[in-house]
Amino acid sequence: MTDQEMLQIYTGLVPFLAGVCGPGCEIVVHDVTDPEHSLIAIENSLSGRQVGYPLTDLSRELQEKGAYTSAAYIGNYEGKSKGRNFLSSTYFIKNEGRLIGLLCINKDMVLIFILLCSVMIRLLRWLLCRLCAVLLLVAARQ
């Protein structure tokens, strides 16, 4: 399989992954053979990037250090772009051991925090309702 055929498989997954992960999650595929125009697919652009943008400094660093030689991916590291914080993961796309691309997933930490707060508020409401019910039962027995 050629490098381009393999990258095509990953670019085809981008809309699916973006749909599953939702609007707070940016999905990107880079072709590392063209670092100045590496971004070949993007959905839910949280970073403001678009097709044709260059590799990020972090992506260049991972490539230069050979991080891909000892791991299939790097997961859940802190990323930053345009003042926004992300929880990021990068999958190394390889063809016969050679790095040819990157599949990157960047989750907006503010949206994750808002979702977590929403869940916590619902949980607290549920607990308060249960506590009130128990208190009413205790009061009724007295």
Residue 141 near residue 134, CB atoms below 8 Å: no
CA-derived radius of gyration, the chain: 22
pLDDT per residue as tens digits for the range 61-109:
988 998 899 999 999 998 777 777 889 999 999 999 999 999 999 998 7
Residue 111 pLDDT > 80: no
pLDDT per residue as tens digits for the range 8-54:
999 999 999 999 999 889 999 999 999 999 999 999 998 889 999 99
Collapsing DSSP to helix, strand or coil, 97 comes out as coil
pLDDT at position 104? 96
- For all residues of the chain together, what is the average pLDDT? 90
What is the residue whose two structure tokens read 């990258």? 7
Residue 112 pLDDT > 80: no
pLDDT at position 110? 75
pLDDT at position 17? 97
pLDDT at position 115? 72
Report the largest interatomic distance among the alpha carbons of the chain, rounded to a whole angstrom: 79
Residue 137 pLDDT > 90: no
pTM of the complete model:
0.78
User: Which tokens sit at 31?
Assistant: 């072709």
Residue 48 near residue 135, CB atoms below 8 Å: no
